[in-house]
Structure 1
């Protein structure tokens, strides 16, 4: 999906955990084959071009598009899997795949893990006994500096912005690149919707703060283009 995944497992290695890790890696390669918009032969690319039908796609395509519809409804249309008229669920599917990989590890007995999908993270358990995870969030305007440090247990963290890929998120209502924020970091319980809500919040811009405050279980910190910052009341910052 045009990005890098990594696994940080803090539990004592077991044969079951090693098998689950191998299964998680295989699963991510399968997700790439099905959903990558960088691959013209992927199911999602072929579906977007009208070369196949939803019924002929792998069943997970229907599941992901249903989740995209939920995110679109909750975000009042600021999240969409059809940006610019094309089919692209990348704003949700990366988080969905990362969360699924973390669940495989958890089911195998790895209860203290960080799975990182291109900078969006699903955290389970703790970094060490009694110590929460501490996640540095890169500053979008100052390379090498941090905008904040997120601390927590059993937490998802997703950031959308222009630092890594430039202005790639579109305002779904105007079709133009969103430019109201430099970045927004959203935290929540699970990464699938946290990732989608970060995309929606960045597209929405300054007005996203009130919407994010209304979502139970989700918090956010945003950096404006002038470098100033706002955060929701419960954002789990340890900086």
Structure 2
């Protein structure tokens, strides 16, 4: 079963490969993601994020989920020494760099809890996978070329884990360096492979925000493999990253 829906401002697809009818389970995934969009979007005035940012709610009165997201934002801000930040001076609170990966990983956990073991959720190119597409074959995940939109620069095989890429080919210079408030510079794309999409997505965004400093920083993060392309078109790849092609 394969279903795609526009949610959180991007196309999200859920592909289940065990041959059974999981329409209700897939609907639960999209219901959760629609709920996240309504509650955590920094672009919807009625969302919990916007109401908190306007001072209408105290931290202690926030939902457990939003408190988790904001604490994760603080964690990655400390880890990146301020390059990653949900609070850029002069701009509204924007936890999206954590919210997307965190919510999609929770959607994957929801499928696992329902006993579904062979699936892929793709949220605008950030992917979490489980199981096989055929005996002995994992999910093939293409990494989009940062300058040629119809091309991929690498293909990975994933059985159980997550792959996230931060780049500017979809939304322009939207990733800011929290230390300066200016658009990040020095990198074209950052791909992180990890066991959790929330972590992979946040690390990819943080490394991109750091610019060239993020190349070594990302490679040092435990439990991760990375592929980074800088603005000089040089490819930096951690030794453990296995590519099918690229």
Using the size of structure 2 for normalisation, the TM-score is 0.91
- For residues 135 and 104 of structure 2, the distance between their equivalents in structure 1, rounded to whole angstroms, comes to 24
Are residues 1:47 and 2:52 paired? yes
1:180-219 to 2 correspondences below 5 Å: 180-219=186-225
Structure 1 segments (4+ residues) deviating >6 Å: none
- For residues 11 and 149 of structure 2, the distance between their equivalents in structure 1, rounded to whole angstroms, comes to 19
CA contact (8 A) 1:167 1:179 kept: no
CA contact (8 A) 2:162 2:193 kept: yes
- For residues 88 and 8 of structure 1, the distance between their equivalents in structure 2, rounded to whole angstroms, comes to 29
Report SS of the residue matched to 1:230: strand
Partner of 2:38: 33
CA contact (8 A) 2:145 2:151 kept: yes
- Count how many residue pairs are aligned between Structure 1 and Structure 2: 237
1:29-178 to 2 correspondences below 5 Å: 29-84=34-89, 85-178=91-184
- For residues 121 and 169 of structure 2, the distance between their equivalents in structure 1, rounded to whole angstroms, comes to 21
Q: Is the deviation greater in 214-223 or in 228-237? A: 228-237
Partner of 1:7: 14
Partner of 2:29: 24
1:215 to partner: Cα distance: 1.3
Q: Is the deviation greater in 211-220 or in 51-60? A: 51-60
- Once superposed, what is the RMSD of the aligned Cα atoms? 1.5
- Return closer, same or farther for 1:207/1:114 CA change in 2, 3 Å cut-off: same
1:107 to partner: Cα distance: 1.5
Report SS of the residue matched to 1:234: coil
Q: Is the deviation greater in 120-129 or in 92-101? A: 120-129
Offset from partner CA, 1:172-231 (integer Å, 9 cap, x none): 111100021011111100101110000001001112122122211111111222322111
1:55 to partner: Cα distance: 2.8
Unaligned regions of 5+ residues in structure 1, if any?
none
* Structure with higher strand content: 2
